[in-house]
Amino acid sequence: MLSQALRPAATTDAWARLDPAERDRLVTLGLDGLSVVEAGDEREEALIAAIALRETLETPGRVAALVTPDRALAMRVAAELARWDIRAEDAAGQPLSGSLGGRLARLAAEFAVETVGPRIGNRQAQRLLALLAHPLVRLGMARPELVRGAAALEIGVLRGPALAPGFETLRGALAAAKTDTGRRPRPKRRLKDIDWELAEKLVAALEDAFKGFPGGAGALDLVAAGEAHRAVCEALLKGPEGDEEAAADPSLACLDSLFDELAFVDAGPMGGEFSDYPAFFAALADLRCVPDAHGAPHPRVRILGLAEARLLSCDRIVLGGLDEGVWPARMVTDSFLNRPMRERIGLDPPERQIGQGAHDFVGLLGHRDAVITRAQKREGAPTVQSRFLQRMRAFADQTHWEAVLTRGRRLAGLAARLDAGTEPPPPRLTQPRPRPDPALFPRALSVTEVETLVRDPYAIFARHVLGLDPLEPVAAPPGVGDRGTLIHAVLGRFAEAFPQGMPADADTRLAAIAEEVFAPVKAANPELYAEWWPRLQRLSEKFLPWEAERRAAGLRVHAEANGRWSIPMGDEVFVLKARADRIETRRDGGACLIDFKTGTPPSNREVFAGFSPQLTLEAAMLMAGAFKDIPAPGTVPDLLYVHASGGRTPLRERLLKPEKDEERDIAALVEEHAARLRGLVARFMTGKAAYVSRPYPKYVRYAGDYDHLARVLEWSLAGEGEA
């Protein structure tokens, strides 16, 4: 049957001359024992192939094998078999670059380029964490000690602003973080002395391990660098006395042999830049295969390539990856050797690979029990079934081919049942509304956190009740939030230096303060400095006249003023804290609260609806005398938003005032917000309110730090609410 189905295309007209009864007999006998499975994607195909292999093992003595030219499919099937504790013997092994030893060497080379080589980026922190997470790394320490030191190094130094490359910078940042006594995030405060000591020991060991790696700019002999690379790997693998676990991995012997060959190369030097070495090493490691020696393989299951499968037979054969481009492989026309040139020098044409693939396909289908699998999509893109399958389907009639597909659907059904499991489906996620013990509600919040309590109470629950703090990203590049912090610092320092009156050289003084504040950015991120500094200059040009106009009224400026307001709540006291950007007091006893915004200020509608109560609550605090050394004004202060972006409109002010259809004035609004604060806090302190996640999704302006914990995407997509 296969001889007829796969005959040359020019001779397929012979099918019409076959006797119908003879053709039916050929198809019936040829398709007997064959199953064809069309899976939805690569994952489902791998699971079906694993089930077909596993089913064979139910019969004592029967042997099963997977044959595929797709290495990714082979690894997926091996992983699926592991769920039944079946380790299939893979004849191809795995490339050295993908083994434990090879990954260690690659990570070491990449980290060296980022640390001791010329600066080509700022990925040192990511490379370092990946290297320390490798299970074979010891650096002369016990593995638990190294893991603890790496965690302390990550939380204490690497999370936050990116550091300049180099061990000297890393040591300096670690020493500064250890002795920092200022306001530190809670995760850093939880680190003990032993954690800092282990982190210091770890950095010292890393610096000692990489001291022999050639660095710097200029030409480098890539082959000669292999000896220094070997020394680094040995230092990374060296554990305390008696720890032999790291040295037992079989891939390390293959890695040693690669370094040995590099040491005995007789050819001339291979020049390149130091940044080329990781790619050079990875290319060499890809050419070496490490035999799979982790545990004893199952004696009756094998994973074979096309060449190995020609010599072996089994009771059930699974042919995987029957899609065009996989089996047969995609033909690639060489740009340097076209077909006539290949023919003149005696090379085979590309079509010979297709013929060889067809030969292997026919030979493997000689087994009595065969399963063919293919995926309708690979990497999200639709596929075309192999031309071999197309030929078989064209030769067989629809009735016989449907029987083949029906046998394949049985295996697909088993895979679906295995994925579904036997447990009842979990209930649909709902919007979380935790109600913990009311005593856990914090007795002190800032005005910013009060706004969070209104918009997303679940974030207050996660931070203050559960005690969870979001970690900063690793080596985070400065963003718009950092730019806002810098601008606030410049304007705040200027106001603190001159609380009354403007100096004659105000522009010079402001420029000096700005240069001092922006100096770290200029040193660490010159590209961002080149973008942010012109914005600050445009802002300064508008800020100084604006400031002079306001100072002409003889007011006094209080910058970055801290306030605490103790509010009696029955038998307890709730403390509202604030740090006002700027408070101006006038001679007539009036005052003005100013909030500088580098982003978009809240709209009047948001403020009057109670979703942005920052300025109104600060006004209530000021009138209650909550700001030290600032007298309470006789009337409600003016509330002013100043958009200080430095963009096309560098500085724009907006006085908070009622809309035309708004009956409340600012005094009534401040009083209402203070009363609503008392009521809101009382409901949480008595347990009547739940910490709902995103109760008002329309007014959620950005993704929260705890949205993943609240499973916002899941319950919102299920129709429980909006997100």
Q: Tell me, what's the pLDDT at 267? A: 60
Q: Tell me, what's the pLDDT at 723? A: 40
Instruction: Say whether 449 sits in a helix, a strand or coil.
Output: helix
Helix or strand run (H / E) with residue 463: none
SS (H, E, C) 481-539: HHHHHHHHHHHHHHHHHCCCCCCCCHHHHHHHHHHHHHHHHHHHCHHHHHHHHHHHHHH
pTM of the complete model: 0.78
d(CA 131, CA 551): 57
Contacts for 359 with CB less than 8 Å, ≥ 6 apart: none
The C-alpha angle 429, 435, 440, rounded to 5 degrees, equals 135
SS (H, E, C) 40-108: CCHHHHHHHHHHHHHHHCCCCCCCEEEECCCHHHHHHHHHHHHHHCCCCEECCCEEHHHCHHHHHHHHH
pLDDT 10s digits, 556-565: 999 999 999 9
User: Do the Cβ atoms of 321 and 364 come closer than 8 Å?
Assistant: no
Structure tokens at 145: 């000690």
Give the bridge partners for 562, in sequence order: 579
Average pLDDT in the 218-232 region? 85
Helix or strand run (H / E) with residue 569: strand 556-569
The C-alpha angle 25, 30, 31, rounded to 5 degrees, equals 105
Instruction: Tell me: pLDDT of 469 over 50.
Output: yes
Average pLDDT in the 55-69 region? 94
Structure tokens at 570: 């029955």
Structure tokens at 610: 């109670």
Q: At what angle do helices 100-115 and 251-263 cross, to 10 degrees?
A: 50
pLDDT 10s digits, 483-507: 999 999 999 999 999 988 888 899 9
Identity at 578, one-letter amino acid code: A
User: Do the Cβ atoms of 438 and 85 come closer than 8 Å?
Assistant: no
pLDDT 10s digits, 342-360: 888 888 887 888 888 899 9
Q: Which residue has the tokens 């083994």?
A: 99
Q: Tell me, what's the pLDDT at 722? A: 44
Reference 458, options 679, 719, 690, 685; nearest CA is: 690
d(CA 225, CA 296): 37
Average pLDDT in the 88-99 region? 84
Q: Which residue has the higher pLDDT, 231 or 662?
A: 231
Instruction: Say whether 459 sits in a helix, a strand or coil.
Output: helix
Q: How confident is the model at residue 121 (pLDDT cuts 50, 70, 90)?
A: very low
Residue ranges covered by each domain of the chain: 2-93+296-420, 97-290, 435-474+553-594+605-638+674-723
Q: Count other C-beta atoms under 10 Å from residue 384's C-beta.
A: 12
What is the DSSP pairing of strand 591-597 with strand 638-644? parallel
Count the residues in the chain. 723
Fold entry, domain 2-93+296-420: Rossmann fold (3.40.50)
Average pLDDT, the chain: 89
Would you tell me which CATH number, out of the four given (3.90.320, 1.10.20, 2.70.98, 1.10.10), belongs to the domain 435-474+553-594+605-638+674-723?
Answer: 3.90.320
Same fold, 2-93+296-420 and 435-474+553-594+605-638+674-723: no
User: Do the Cβ atoms of 718 and 429 come closer than 8 Å?
Assistant: yes
What are residue 13's phi and psi, to 5 degrees? Answer: -65, -15
pLDDT 10s digits, 269-294: 677 888 888 999 999 998 888 876 56
Instruction: Tell me: pLDDT of 384 over 80.
Output: yes
Structure tokens at 266: 């007789």
Structure tokens at 359: 């030969």
Burial of 203: CB neighbours in 10 Å, binned 0-12, 13-18, 19+: buried
